């Protein structure tokens, strides 16, 4: 077996939290909602170009047995550093900039509505 790359991330929570996350990833990161197969669970798939990279799943009360996890953050490769900072500022989203010496121009760190850490790495 060989790992070939990251396929997607999956976030699960209440219907209210998942709706807030859906809006956040669309409005803040510019992902688009697209086709999701008809699974037994409810949710959304959010796309970057033609790839469904963020899967959102509504946890069903009493039926969902999956526990919590220790996921710290998810990193997205991006372009448009200045535009990204402006977009976050316009929406009142607090972020930090990590001007690591070997990354250009920098990395941005912030959180989604569920508290999940997000990192934007720029080309």
pLDDT of 36 higher than 90: yes
Q: What's the domain range around 120?
A: 71-123
Confidence of residue 12 (pLDDT cuts 50, 70, 90): confident
- Residues 42, 81, single domain; the answer is no
pLDDT of residue 122: 81
Whether 66 is covered by a domain: the verdict is no
CATH code: domain of residue 33: 3.10.180.10
pLDDT of 23 higher than 70: yes
The number of domains in the chain is 2
Whole-number average pLDDT of the chain:
85
- How are beta strands 32-34 and 42-48 bridged, if at all? antiparallel
- Residues 25, 81, single domain; the answer is no
pTM (predicted TM-score) = 0.81
Q: Give the whole-angstrom CA distance, residue 105 versus residue 95.
A: 15
pLDDT of residue 104: 65
pLDDT of residue 50: 94
Q: 45-96 pLDDT, tens per residue?
A: 999 999 999 999 898 776 655 555 657 688 888 888 899 999 999 999 999 9
- Residues 2, 55, single domain; the answer is yes
> What one-character-per-residue DSSP string does 60-99 give?
PTTT---------EEEEEES-HHHHHHHHHHTT---EEE-
pLDDT of residue 65: 54
pLDDT of residue 92: 96
Position with higher pLDDT, 9 vs 123 = 9
């Amino acid at each position: 077996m060989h790992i070939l790359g990251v396929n997607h991330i999956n976030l699960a929570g209440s219907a209210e939290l998942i709706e807030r996350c859906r809006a956040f990833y669309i409005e803040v990161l510019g992902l688009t909602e697209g086709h999701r197969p008809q699974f037994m669970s409810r949710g959304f798939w959010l796309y970057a170009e033609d790839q469904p990279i963020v899967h959102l799943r509504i946890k069903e009360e009493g039926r969902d047995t999956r526990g919590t996890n220790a996921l710290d953050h998810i990193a997205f490769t991006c372009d448009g550093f200045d535009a990204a900072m402006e977009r976050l500022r316009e929406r009142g989203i607090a972020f930090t900039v990590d001007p690591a010496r070997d990354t250009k121009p920098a990395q941005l760190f912030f959180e989604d509505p569920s508290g999940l850490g997000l990192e934007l790495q720029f080309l």
